[in-house]
Amino acid sequence: MTRMQSVGGRQGEPATSAPAGVASQRCTNADCGARYAIDRVLISCPSCGELLDVAYDRPREERMDWGRFAARSATRGPRHAAGGVATTAALDFSGVWRFRDLLPFCEDAAKIVTIGEGRTNLQRADGLARAMGLGLTDSGGLYLQYEGFNPSGSFKDNGMAAAFTHARMVGATRVACASTGNTSAALAVYGALTGMKCFVFIGDGKIAYGKLAQALDHGATTLQVAGDFDACLARIRHIAEKTPEAGVYLMNSVNPFRLEGQKTIMCRVLEGLDWNVPDWIVVPGGNLGNCSAFGKAFAEMRALGLVDRVPRLAVIQAEGSSTLERIYNDMGVRWEGAGAGELLAGRYDRARVKAEYERMDAANERAHTVATAIEINRPVNLSKALRALSVMDGVVRKVSDAEIVEHKALVGRWGFGCEPASGASVAGAAMLRREGVIKPTDTVVCILTGHALKDPDVTVAYHTGMDMRSVGPGAGAATPRGRISNPPIKVADDLDAILRAMGV
C-alpha cells in the first residue's frame, strides 16, 4: 500500500512531471498546468491554488463503444461480504465501476471500494410533464434520473465509491466532510464499510434529521459546529490542508476523485436512453460538483467517440443561494478553454469572482433556502462549473423556494419522490420551457439527486401548512396552501365518520 502523503501535498514543492501510467492529477488553470502523481493527497494545486482534475493520458486515436458496458449491466450482483476485495462481478454490478474504463485511476483492482452504488434508474415521466404543462411532444419527453436509489439515499454514493478508492490507494485512515446531510450519510456508510474513521462537520441546526440519523448510526464522529455549511467546509478544508499532523483526507466535492464517480450518472442516463443523447440535462447546483462532473464526462466521452454530440446543461439554483447564477448571468463570467487537446485546462476572470466574494462578505450575505442541500454561498467547484457550462452550451437559472416545494410535491405525486434540491431541477425545467429555451420536441432529463426522506419536514409542512420546525405535536390546525397539498384528515374513532372521510 502506498504510504499516505502529507495531506494537502508538499506545499511549495515543484510539480512532478507526468507520472508513469495513464492517470495523473492536473491543474485546471491553463496558466499553470502542473501535474502531480495520482497517489498524492491534494486538495488544490500546490503551485497556484486552483482546482485539480483527475486526467488520463490516452492515445489520441483511442476509441470506445458502449458494447463492453452494456454487457456488464446484466450482472446479478456480488455474493460475498462487502468491504473486502471486490470481484469482477461486484464491479460490474456497481453503476459506477461498470464504467471503470472511464475512470481508470486505480491500477490495483483490489483497492476498489464498492457497495453496489449507482443501481439507479431513469423514468419517463409523462404524467408529471402533463401536470406541469410542459407541452412536450412524444418525440421528446421528460425523464427523471433518480439518484435516491443509492445505498445511502443520494447521488453522493457515486462519488464516495471513487474517493474512498483513492483514500485506500493512499493509505488514508481518517476521512472527513462538511455536510448538510447527504454527504455525511454517504461518508459514514463507506467509512463503516472500509473501517476508516469518519468525521462529519455539520452546521448547528443545519442538518436534515434523517441524514443525521444515518451518520450517527454508521458510527461517524459528528461535530455540530456553530456556523453554516460554508463555515464548516472552510474549517474542515483548513484542517485537511494546513494541519497535516491530523492526517485527515477530505471527502467533499473539491476532491477531484469524487467527481470521477459522479461522471457515471451521465453514463447511466445514456444507458437508460439506449445510448442516445438527450437534448437537456437539468441539475440542481449547490457546491457545483455534479454539473462539473457532467461536463467532464461529456468532454471525455466525446473524445472517445462514445457520443457524437453533447446535451445542453441547465444548472438550477435557489434564489437565496445563487452565486453561480449571478456570476454567470449578471456578471457574464465565462470559461475560456485552452483549445483542442487541452479541453480540461482554461481560464476565467478570477479577479471578478474574488471581488464578488469580497462584496458578499462585506454585505454579510448568507445563503438561505428551504433546499438545504444547495444552501451554499461559495461553491467550491465554481470554475469547473463554468467549464461544464462551456462544454455543454449551458444555462443557469434560479427558482424560488415556493417553486421548489411545489415541484417537489409534483414529482412526489407523478414521479419518484425526491428531496427539495431535486425539486429545483424540475422547477428549472418548467421555467426554461416557459421561456422557450427548452423546445417542445426536446428530450429533457432532470436529475433527482436525493431521496424524498431528506428534509421530510419540508414535505409535511407543504401538505399540512404547519411549520414542522416551530410547532410540536398537537399544535393547532393550519391551512395548507400548495396546489396539490394533501393534508391528513382528522377523524373520530367512528365507523361512519371514517367511511365518510374515506369518501367511499
Binding site for ligand F0G (CB under 6 A): 154, 179-183, 229, 253, 284-290, 373-374, 419, 421, 449-450
**Do 265 and 450 touch, CB atoms closer than 8 A?**
no
Q: What residue spans of 279-349 are helical by DSSP H?
A: 289-303, 323-325
Q: Write down the number of H helices and E strands in the chain.
A: 17, 15
Nearest approach in angstroms of CB 369 to ligand F0G is: 11
Q: Which residues pair with 336 in a beta bridge?
A: 347
Least distance in angstroms from the C-beta of 151 to ligand F0G: 14
| 39 vs 157, beta carbon nearer ligand F0G | 157
Residue 67 burial (C-beta neighbours within 10 Å; 0-12, 13-18, 19+): exposed
Buried b / exposed e along 93-108 (16+ C-beta atoms within 10 A)? bbbbbbbbebbebbee
* Ramachandran quadrant class, 130 (left: phi over 0; alpha: psi -120 to 50; beta: rest): alpha
Residues 6+ apart with CB under 8 A from 474: none
Closest contact distance (angstroms) between CB of 424 and ligand F0G is 8
Residue 179: closest CA among 154, 160, 207: 207
- With contact defined as beta carbons under 8 Å apart, do 142 and 134 qualify? yes
Q: How many residues does the chain have?
A: 504
Burial grade of 276 (CB within 10 A; 0-12, 13-18, 19 or more): exposed
Pick 144 or 169: Cβ nearer ligand F0G: 144
Minimum CB separation of residue 179 from ligand F0G in Å reads: 3
Q: How far is the CB of 177 from ligand F0G (least distance, A)?
A: 7
Taking the least distance from each CB to ligand F0G, the nearer of 69 and 416 is 416
Nearer to ligand F0G, 8 or 289 (CB): 289
CB of 85 to ligand F0G, least distance (A): 29
Residue holding cell 467546509?
233
Residue with cell 449547490: 286
Find, among 159, 189, 169, the residue nearest to 96 by Cα: 159
Sole residue written with cell 409534483: 410
User: Whole-number minimum distance, CB 178 to ligand F0G, in Å?
Assistant: 7
Which is nearer to ligand F0G, 113 or 424 (by Cβ)?
424
Q: Give the C-alpha separation, 102 to 437, whole Å.
A: 31
Whole-number minimum distance, CB 201 to ligand F0G, in Å? 10
Residue 92 or 228: the one with the smaller Cβ distance to ligand F0G is: 228
Q: What is the Cα–Cα distance from 294 to 273, expressed in whole angstroms?
A: 16
Shortest Cβ 185–ligand F0G spacing (Å): 8
Q: In the complex with ligand F0G, which residue's Cβ is closer, 287 or 464?
A: 287
Least distance in Å: CB of 468 to ligand F0G?
19
- For ligand F0G, which is the closer residue by CB, 23 or 188? 188
Residue 97 vs 294, nearer CB to ligand F0G = 294
Q: How far apart are CA 304 and CA 46, in angstroms?
A: 30
Q: Which CB atom, from 122 or from 265, has the smaller least distance to ligand F0G? A: 265
- 265/451 Cα distance (integer angstroms): 15
Compute the distance between CA of residue 252 and CA of residue 59 in angstroms, rounded to an integer: 31
